[in-house]
Amino acid sequence: MPRRIDLDEEQVGKLLGRLADSADAPTPKELHEMAAVAVSSTGPTRGVRRTRVRRSRSRLVVAMAAALLMLGAGATAHVLTGDPSPPRGLEAAVRLLFPRGHCVGADEATSLIRDKLAGLGLSDWSVAATAGVSGESCVAAGFVATERRIVLVPVSGPTVSTAMEGVAATLMNECLGKDQATELISSVLTGIGQTSFTISTDGPLAYPEEQEEAVRAHIASGCFVYSATGWGPDGQPIYYISGSDA
Amino acid sequence: MAIVGMDRHQSFNPRSLPTASDPLLAEAVRRAQQGDEGGFHSLVVELGPLVYRFLVVRLAHEGDAKDALQETLIAAWQGLPALKRPESVRSWILTIAVRKATEVLKARPPLARDELPEANAPDAVQLFEIRDALDRLPPNMRDALLVRYLLGLSEQETAQALHVPLGTVKSRTSRARRQMAALLEREPQPHEQKGGHDAPSH
């Protein structure tokens, strides 16, 4: 005999709930990891939609690192992706190796990524660091899917990132000229023990998209802004500032 | 229903969901819209279980549901600055999830029954019947049923999530309940007790 079933709204909810309850729900830890992946996956496309590379300095490492640093929020290591996309799962797996707010050294990153590639059966992929990256350098990973290669690019450590966020905010809140901005950055960096760096006006101008109007107005007023961090072939960081007379 | 592991079978009460007017949720949305990662994490912890609940029933596969949730969160992080009505964040993020689920269903082959999340449950037979009835509904009715009754969103929020008029939600959910009841009343046919589980198509 067919069963008679009356389904009111609550009963439908309970029936469907039984299906949902039969599955493993993501734990809070997993949710946090997913949130971290979502934030890092957007890379420069969200926070820095417009990165204008001035003059002839358009080296990939500079642009990538500049975009990374401008994402701010204490980020020290990220994963960059491009087209075509890397194999499904690889990108997310590598991202998890780079917790935000931590410095992952090049040697450690190389080892971890190689293990991950082996675990995923991607033996035809390789890991390589860009010029100037030493074993202890904090790095981020970029995918060059066409060459089946993961490239390690330098990024600032958490202390420098935090300091430069403060510099960026100060330069936006005050109106400093080129010399004053240079002096501010020098004093902040030396204050946290940084001794080998260059400050330059010959670099990319990058900014969070929502700040575009404010940044342009600030520059138009004759003020300098902190625009990006790059790395030279020797691995030395270059801090770029931008202003109307740069 | 038997409980197998606390994490996977915590009871879920739609009334305990963060509401659109929840001040903590509103604050998380506001912060996330300004690029604050902590705000986004809070948002994900608040709404992630809701979105996953929809996806795991819709996709009938835990791995696909988690992948779709990840894709949903990526799109949400990218789209948050453009969200004009933060109080609609629940329906807004579900709109994304519905779209991601549709993409997954279009791309993957049909699932076998032993791949379904309920396959290992003690009451698997009954759950298969519910699953079969749900899968026989037209996709738009199924989405309305899940968002309205599984997640407990209001009719208005369901309309926003599915981008349909309020009247359409009312008619779809009403018809879906009737059809589901009718399907569950039927004696299972012999050919329905074996074989694969067809992924719903659009």
* Per-residue pLDDT at A236: 84
Half-sphere exposure of B105 (CA within 13 A, CB side): 20
B35-47 pLDDT, tens digit per residue, is: 888 889 889 988 9
* Per-residue pLDDT at B173: 94
B10, amino acid identity: Q
Minimum distance, in Å, between the CA of residue B82 and any CA atom of chain A:
11
* Per-residue pLDDT at A199: 92
The least confident of A137-141, B171-175, B190-194 is B190-194
Q: At what angle do helices B37-59 and A9-21 cross, to 10 degrees?
A: 100
Under an 8 A CB cutoff, do A20 and B56 touch? yes
* Per-residue pLDDT at A84: 54
Query: Can you say whether residue B78 is alpha, beta or left, with left for phi > 0 and alpha for psi between -120 and 50 degrees?
Result: alpha
Minimum distance, in Å, between the CA of residue B64 and any CA atom of chain A:
12
Q: Is the peptide bond before A84 cis (omega within 30 degrees of 0)?
A: yes
Nearest-by-CA chain B residue for A71:
B35
Which among B5, B9, B187 has CB closest to A2? B187
* Per-residue pLDDT at B117: 74
* Per-residue pLDDT at A41: 64
Closest CA to A33 of A81, A128, A120, A98: A98
Task: Please list the residues that pair with A79 across neighbouring strands.
Answer: A141
Closest CA to A22 of B164, B150, B197: B150
Closest CA to B184 of B112, B132, B118, B146: B132
B62, amino acid identity: E
Query: Can you say whether residue A143 is alpha, beta or left, with left for phi > 0 and alpha for psi between -120 and 50 degrees?
Result: beta
Residue A163 · residue A187 · CB < 8 Å = no
DSSP, collapsed to helix, strand or coil, labels residue B154 as coil
B59: pLDDT confidence band, cut at 50, 70 and 90? very high
Residue A7 · residue B181 · CB < 8 Å = yes
**Average pLDDT value for residue range B79-85:** 87
- A-B interface: how many C-beta pairs under 8 angstroms? 152
Interface probe with B: pick from A22, A34, A70, most Cβ of B within 10 Å: A22
Look over chain B and give the mean of its residue pLDDT values, rounded to a whole number.
78
* Per-residue pLDDT at B195: 37
What are the residue ranges spanned by the domains of chain A?
77-154, 158-242
* Per-residue pLDDT at A202: 76
Which among B35, B45, B70 has CB closest to A92? B70
* Per-residue pLDDT at A77: 37
Percent share of chain B, pLDDT over 90:
37
Range list of H helices, chain B: 23-33, 37-59, 62-79, 89-107, 124-135, 139-145, 155-162, 166-185
* Per-residue pLDDT at B165: 94
Q: How far, in Å, CA of A234 to CA of A223, rounded?
A: 30
When comparing pLDDT for A67 and B132, which is higher?
B132
B150 DSSP 8-state letter: I
Nearest-by-CA chain B residue for A88:
B67
Under an 8 A CB cutoff, do B121 and A37 touch? no
Q: How far, in Å, CA of A95 to CA of A147, rounded?
A: 19
Q: How far, in Å, CA of A34 to CA of B42, rounded?
A: 12
Say whether residue B152 is in contact with chain A using an 8 A CB cutoff: yes
Residue A154 · residue A137 · CB < 8 Å = yes
Percent share of chain B, pLDDT over 70:
77
Mean pLDDT by 10 residues, chain A (246 residues): 64 87 83 82 38 30 38 38 61 78 88 90 88 82 80 84 85 90 91 88 71 84 87 82 77
* Per-residue pLDDT at B72: 93
Q: At what angle do helices B89-107 and B37-59 cross, to 10 degrees?
A: 50
DSSP, collapsed to helix, strand or coil, labels residue B16 as helix
B5-16 pLDDT, tens digit per residue, is: 222 223 344 444
Q: Domains in chain B, start-ordered, CATH in brackets?
A: 21-192 (1.10.1740.10)
The least confident of A17-31, A113-127, B81-95, B104-118 is B104-118
* Per-residue pLDDT at A153: 82
Residue A151 · residue A142 · CB < 8 Å = yes
Buried b vs exposed e over A103-115: b needs ≥16 C-beta within 10 Å?
bbbbbebbebbee
Under an 8 A CB cutoff, do B134 and A35 touch? no
